[in-house]
Structure 1
């Protein structure tokens, strides 16, 4: 995950300093799957989710000069996607307004480098199933922290929640996952220290 962070940071700087279109395309390709799944969890439409992610990247390109001021572009994009997605849902519903608690986020663990992972397809299926069985809010928080690599504070900011809520939901999620996946009960810490 640290490698992804440094890659994202380098691409961000190339876009901010040089208006580098190749870096922009690289950032898009790297982050699109996660951002698409996140948006889809709100809008429940492939077309709308694709459009929302594209709109977010257009906004990113339009603000290229200010990108160097953004500490974590991934968290910034997740926040933008959340806002655009909720606005889309609210605009297209008939006077029913939704909050973050009304949406379900279905995760899918994917591996960037399968040769580096020694885990069977059946184990991945069981892990995905266990993550998807978490309550919606817990699943969303777990996805952002554990699978997308956002810090607790970034996740709290993206979702408009308090830091203790995020920490508690991660602990609840880890406990439920460890209970539903007894074969995977390794020495996994329930929470991590945040800076």
Structure 2
């Protein structure tokens, strides 16, 4: 499946655990395989696969009262842009950790939309199909998610609040 890596990254972001994400990805691919006759009727097969992965991940979270681990080092580690100046590199890494922490603190509907749009680069329509919501809901949730992240970062840097 050409979408296997996307499914894994999506499951990993939801679950925060590599082993569970691999299991969910495999389960999703098996479910897709069993329902392959349905693929011809779909407009966007990738969005359908992502929705299956999302539903399986959410089922796992609900069944185990699973809590997302704050394992950003594995999933979202970004290299420093300025390797010549360790001070600047450290500040950039610190800023990215705060951004990712702010995103992980968002309610699920905001967190999913901001991750799918800003980190994975999906279109509004693809996100709407994946999450089974309207495009307007995607836009509103994305705006509110970005606003909350912006406010939290402003509070941290302006007032030292965390």
Same fold (TM over 0.5): yes
With normalisation by structure 1, the TM-score equals 0.53
Task: Say which of 157, 160, 173 aligns to 2:132.
Answer: 160
Count of aligned pairs: 140
- Checking the alignment, whether the CA contact within 8 Å between 1:152 and 1:163 is kept in structure 2 is yes
5+ residue gaps, structure 1: 1-10, 13-26, 94-102, 183-195
| Counterpart for residue 129 of structure 1 | 101
Change (3 A) 1:84 1:176: closer
Q: Which has the higher contact order (CA 8 A, sep 6+)?
A: 2
Partners of 2:139 and 2:26 in 1: CA distance: 31
| Counterpart for residue 186 of structure 1 | none
- Checking the alignment, whether the CA contact within 8 Å between 1:39 and 1:85 is kept in structure 2 is yes
Does 2:55 correspond to 1:83?
yes
With normalisation by structure 2, the TM-score equals 0.62
- Checking the alignment, whether the CA contact within 8 Å between 2:15 and 2:21 is kept in structure 1 is yes
Deviation at 1:54, TM superposition (A): 0.6
- Checking the alignment, whether the CA contact within 8 Å between 2:8 and 2:21 is kept in structure 1 is no
**What root-mean-square deviation, in Å, do the aligned CA atoms of Structure 1 and Structure 2 show?**
3.8
Task: Say which of 2, 5, 9 aligns to 1:34.
Answer: 9
5+ residue gaps, structure 2: 83-88, 155-162
Deviation at 1:142, TM superposition (A): 1.2
- Checking the alignment, whether the CA contact within 8 Å between 1:39 and 1:52 is kept in structure 2 is no
